[in-house]
Structure formats: C-alpha cells, structure tokens
Amino acid sequence: MSETDTARAGGLVRVQNVDKVFKRGSEEVHVLGGLNLDIPEGEFLALMGPSGSGKSTLLNLIGGLDRPSQGSVEVGGERVDELSNRKLAAWRARHIGLVFQFYNLMPVLSAQKNVELPLLLTHLSRSERKKRAAIALDIVGLSHRAGHFPRTLSGGEQQRVGIARAIVTDPTLLLCDEPTGDLDRKSGDEILDLLQALNREQGKTIIMVHHDIHAAARAGRPLYQDNGQLSTEPNV
C-alpha cells in the first residue's frame, strides 16, 4: 500500500492504544495511556500541553526514536514499533526529518556541510549531495549564507539551516520539537512562516510540539495533551 493510499484509508500516521511507561528504579511513570491519533498526509499538527504531559514522548514514538510499552505506531502503513533496531535506523533516515529547539548544528561545518550530513547515509555522489543541499538552503531562503559557519549566523538563520537539513532527504514526516523556543518573537514568527510554507507549498506533513498558543495557532490542527491523553481543548 502506498503512503497516499494509507492516508485515504485513515491516516499517514496511526497511533493506536499506545501506552508508554518509564521505569525509574522501582517506580513506574505512566506518560501515555491508551492514546489514539490519526494524522492525514499533508497535515500541519501542533501538540500542546504542560511540561511532562508526554508531547515529546509521543513525537519520539512517531519518529521511531522510542518504542511504546503497548499499542502500535504506523507510518505509511508500516508498523514502526515492530522494526528491528537496524531497520528502524534505515527507516528514520528515509522518512523522518527532525527540527530541534537548539538547532544541533556542527560548529566546525559550514551551513552547506551541515545540511549535507543526512545525505552521507545515502549512496549519492558528492556533487549530488552538494546540489540537494543547495536546493534545501534555497527553499529556506539561506543560499547566500551557505559558506558561513554556525557561530556567524543568527539564531533564526541557524534554525533555517536546521530545517534545511531536516528536509534535504525529502522525508515523509517533519517532526519539530519546540522549533522557536530559543528565538525571539520576530525570528520565531519567521520560522513559523517557513513551516507553514513547507506545509502549504511543498505538501510536507508536519508535527510540531510547542508550549506557545501563538505558535500552535499557525498549525492546521492544534491538539492538547495532558495526563497521557489528547483533546481538542485544553484542560482547565
């Protein structure tokens, strides 16, 4: 089944009856309980909620960075939670683009070389890697800074490099964890403009974790997470 067919059948992403329990010594911490979520292809979804509500945990499960204690996680019709560690790493490289709050750029590499990093896991030639990185930097409006190092870039520019790195492999999903949390309002708004454009003009499916209502309002669908469950309205 293709990813488009899967979306028509109920969602590009399907999280069903998911529990997540962390063990701290003899104590069990229940973060998610019986959680269900369908995300259609091309959606821009925002996950909101208080600290410790499980937003980032859910993002990690969808991105194959962690496994549920119970339940299933499907992306494009594939049971991510059932893949071996080796297959999961290859799956993430093909399907997941990650955007972090603190950019996670390599300080000794130029913007261009930072964007190329995910392509080192492919069989692309050096010239093709350079070409694709240049296209990604152009999409985020940073072609003129390709040769600059992170320390010479503003916070907003560094996050643009981070987004270019996330999209350079043309991933199925773009997962953003507090992507404007380290930026001032103006720079943050520009990053949110860029994410909206990637969703509307490039058709990217985006899942964004955020604590800010202003930022979450930019998404097509905001959901609120608390006590291991999702709702369309915040708990008061």
Give the pTM.
0.90
Report percent pLDDT > 70 for the chain: 95
The per-residue pLDDT for 228 is: 77
The per-residue pLDDT for 236 is: 56
Give yes or no for residue 106 having a pLDDT over 70. Answer: yes
The per-residue pLDDT for 10 is: 56
Residue-wise pLDDT tens digits, 68-88: 999 999 999 999 999 999 999
Q: Classify burial at 93, counting beta carbons within 10 Å of its beta carbon; exposed 0-12, middle 13-18, buried 19 or more.
A: middle
Give yes or no for residue 154 having a pLDDT over 50. Answer: yes
User: Who's near 45: CB < 8 A, 6+ residues apart?
Assistant: 39, 206, 207, 208, 219, 220, 221, 222, 223
Strand bridging mode 96-99 / 173-177: parallel
Q: How far apart are CA 140 and CA 21, in angstroms?
A: 38
Of the candidate CATH numbers 3.30.1360.170, 3.60.15.10, 2.60.40.60, 3.40.50.300, the domain formed by 42-66+94-231 belongs to 3.40.50.300
* Residue 222 structure tokens: 């905001």
The per-residue pLDDT for 205 is: 97
Helix (H, G, I), strand (E, B) or coil at 7: helix
Residue-wise pLDDT tens digits, 130-144: 999 999 999 999 999
Domains in the chain: boundaries? 42-66+94-231
Q: How far apart are CA 147 and CA 142, in angstroms?
A: 10
Provide the Cα torsion 66, 72, 74, 77; round to 10°: 140
